[in-house]
Amino acid sequence: MISERIKYRRSHITRRIILQYFIAMAAFIAVLTAGVLICRRVCASRIWYEHDIVYERLKFIEDNIITISCVIIIIGGTVITNIFIIRLLKYIDEIVAAAKRLTSPDEQEISLRSTLFEIEQELNLSREKALRNGELAKEAEKRKNDLIMYLAHDLKTPLTSVVGYLTLLRDEPKLSPKLKAKYTGIALDKALRLEELINEFFEITRFNLTNITLELKRINLSRMLEQICDEFTPVLAQKGLVWKTEIPKDIWLLCDPDKLERVFDNLIRNGIIYSCENTPIELKLQRNEGVITIAVENRGTNIPREKLDRVFEQFYRLDSSRNSETGGSGLGLAIAKEIVKLHKGEIFAESEGERIRFTVRLFDGRLG
């Protein structure tokens, strides 16, 4: 669709052509008037004889000068008008033809005559925007298809296990109580995993489709992070990981504590999943004037830059196989990003060698 600026440019060119038209008409009338005056002066400068054929014609012109002038003006004006109308129509046709190429996939830029240079620029800008929007639409369609595929994959895996173990319990009534308890426990774990996935799907959909309201409170962020670290200590121990924290005392922040806790929970879980065994997980809290920075760093496999830029995308997993044993649904970091955005903050990832760092930057006072 042609932008308002292009419409303005087109009307500007129309006004310019109309101005040129009136200038041409004025020049034509001026030349005609000058011609009449020159002819009269020439005629008055010599003696004419009554039977001179030139005199007869000049006399006829002089007697009918007004009528002849009007006829010449009408004819000349008609010719000039037609020339300018045809030129304007050609401009419009050229612009319309160029506008049809706005969504053309070819890389050749729109080119118009020099008098339409301004419109040419605007059309090329609109074309680039239309092509970008087209790419975004394709990406949105791809994300929708990926959503369906990931939902099917991530939900099917635990559901298949639940059905399998329950079927085994039904078909094998003579199983020992120990095996029954074992299979029941496995089925329950898979069912809980299924519930967790469904809750994550609902949560990311809620962030995307509804306006989430923050329940703001002024909290001691230092104490919150210390409590979260204590809660994760047993989980770290299972993988031989240890905490290395730098948490200054009594750093306060206005935020939604429940949602912000979810952010740190996701970052720490992500660090645990992708950490090498027997390495530290570092958590640092800093405050510089009104800027509060929280960094979670772990040691693991380097993340390539092209993947680093995508880790906050919905359903994106570093392992393309989407193995449920090595990661979640790919929604944790996407949810964390949405929560940080609600707090008008920033979140980003860095990877240098074996060090993988996720940084949250919050601005105390932006929400107050």
271-329 per-position pLDDT tens digit: 998 899 899 999 999 999 889 999 999 998 888 887 887 888 776 666 554 455 445 55
Give domain status of residue 47, yes or no. yes
Q: What CATH number did the domain enclosing 357 receive?
A: 3.30.565.10
**pLDDT of res. 364:** 82
Final residue before a domain boundary, out of 175, 209, 243: 209
For every residue of 238-290, DSSP letters joined together read: HTT-EEEEE--S--EEEE-HHHHHHHHHHHHHHHHHTPPTT-EEEEEEEEETT
Q: Which domain holds residue 71?
A: 4-100
Count structural domains, the chain: 3
Residues 176 and 224 in one domain: no
Residues 202 and 225 in one domain: no
Q: What are phi and psi of 346, to 5 degrees?
A: -130, 150
Residues 205 and 238 in one domain: no
300-315: per-residue pLDDT in tens?
888 888 788 788 877 6
How far is the C-alpha of 210 from the C-alpha of 164, rounded, in Å? Answer: 37
What are the residue ranges in the chain where pLDDT is below 50? Answer: 1-2, 321-322, 325-326
Give domain status of residue 42, yes or no. yes
Neighbours of 120 (CB within 10 A): 20
**Is this structure's pTM higher than 0.85?**
no
**pLDDT of res. 31:** 87
- Name beta bridge partners: 206: none
**pLDDT of res. 301:** 87
Residues 318 and 232 in one domain: yes
Residues 230 and 203 in one domain: no
Give domain status of residue 121, yes or no. no
How far is the C-alpha of 307 from the C-alpha of 314, rounded, in Å? Answer: 13
Residues 251 and 198 in one domain: no
